[in-house]
Structure 1
Amino acid sequence: MFSSHLRVFQLVVVAMLMGGCATAYYNTLEKFGIEKRDILVSRIDDAQEAQGDAKEQFSSALERYRSVINVDGGDIEEIYDALNGDFERSTSRAEEVRERINEVEEVAEDLFEEWQEEIALYSDANLRRQSQVLYRETQRDYEELSRAMRRAEAKMEPVLTLFQDQVLFLRHNLNARAIGALEAELGSIEKATQSLIEEMERSIAEANEFVASMS
């Protein structure tokens, strides 16, 4: 709930500061007690949600694909429209995942840069060492999360490419032969989609662990 409210608040601030810089954006949020770590957690939550939505959409597209080739007859144009609709929705979900990951990386980079600069301000050597250790641990955990998110992102494109090829072939050959071609590619699409779903689940789990460590 906090994350969704923070997301709305951030959008309002962005609208107010349109054309401004990131520093003004962060400064405005900090005046309301919202620190970069809060923004990072919120954006990770958003990325998780986007990945979850994408996972459901890709699963739905695969089920549609299976249902199409397992049904004899039917209007070929209707089949094309259904598969093309799933392809377009999957493409949209994939783009949203990319945008959310980019937003996470943007604020993470700013957070770690600020943290490193502030470590140098400590006068107490012991506190400085403790902060440096925490910084390294948090950065290491974040880098693991970032790699997991990017791996999941990279798995989307091969699936989209396979779907696009079949949708285009169906569009150019609105006949039973085209349905036969869809059936021939089912195994490849199932394998690629399952690999994507597993990678997304790992990424979401990594995000849960990182967010818990930031609490």
Structure 2
Amino acid sequence: MLLCLMLAGCSSMYYSAMEKLGIEKREILVDRVEDARDAQTDAQETFRSSLERFQSVVETPDTPLQEKYDTIRTAFEDSQDAAEAVRDRIDAVEDVSEALFDEWEDELDLYESASLRRTSERQLQETRGQYNTLIDRMHRAEAKMAPVLEAFEDQVLFLKHNLNAQAIGALEQELSQIRADVDRLIQDMEDSIAESEAFIEQFKTTNQ
């Protein structure tokens, strides 16, 4: 609990400092959504590349076994790093969005004009709805990374402890399922990236 309060305090100080520099929370939110989109794009390529490296291990039986192991271990580690980058970017988006929406809601009470207040409140509801759609899609794509990483890790561990030809044969049996998982993950990330693009454009238009 104390840690959460400290982190929240650090975020508030950061946003206050940025506002003094003329950078509003809405700008930070757009930047972080763009960062999350870019991280997902990078993760797509990393998972796709990792799958290709796993496939190459299975499809080149004459390659030394230690080299095969090194190839898929590196692919797994790269995928882990990409997944962590996506999670960090999503956390950053959630942090600033919470601060922005809380501030927006609090400031509704400062309006003297009832019509301007209603317009601002409607914009808040619309923007929050767009954001909720976006963050849900991001989390769905994020959730698809876990089973792929687990499947990759299983293959790495199995080959690590069974550096022999029989191990490669067993890997081939699992490859089709991994390929299907990666395909689904990439499709979900494409959907999330598209949703990010739409949110950025809509948010910029609404808040000009």
Q: TM-score range by the shorter chain?
A: over 0.9
Corresponding residue of 1:58: 47
Matched, 1:161 2:161: no
Equivalences for 1:92-103 in 2 at 5 Å? 92-103=81-92
Give the letter for the 1:181 counterpart.
A
- Counterpart of 1:171 (choices 157, 160, 167) is 160
Identity of aligned residues (%): 51
Matched, 1:133 2:122: yes
Give the letter for the 1:32 counterpart.
L
* Aligned mates of 1:74, 1:131 — CA distance in 2: 64
Give the letter for the 1:44 counterpart.
V
Equivalences for 1:142-153 in 2 at 5 Å? 142-153=131-142
Give SS of 1:34's match.
Answer: coil
Give SS of 1:97's match.
Answer: helix
Matched, 1:35 2:21: no
For structure 1, the 5+ residue unaligned runs are: 1-17
- Root-mean-square deviation (CA, aligned residues, Å) is 1.3
For structure 2, the 5+ residue unaligned runs are: 1-6
* Aligned mates of 1:186, 1:29 — CA distance in 2: 48
Shift of 1:71: 1.3
Corresponding residue of 2:170: 181
Matched, 1:73 2:59: no
Give the letter for the 1:211 counterpart.
I
Corresponding residue of 1:11: none
Shift of 1:90: 0.4
Deviations 1:114-170 (A, max 9, x none): 000001111111111111100000000000000000001000000000000011000
* Aligned mates of 1:117, 1:183 — CA distance in 2: 57
TM-score of the superposition, structure 2-length normalised?
0.93
Matched, 1:21 2:19: no
* Aligned mates of 2:11, 2:146 — CA distance in 1: 30
TM-score of the superposition, structure 1-length normalised?
0.90
Shift of 1:66: 1.2
Shift of 1:213: 0.8
Judge which range, 164-173 or 19-28, deviates more: 19-28
Give the letter for the 1:47 counterpart.
A
Q: Which has the higher contact order (CA 8 A, sep 6+)?
A: 2
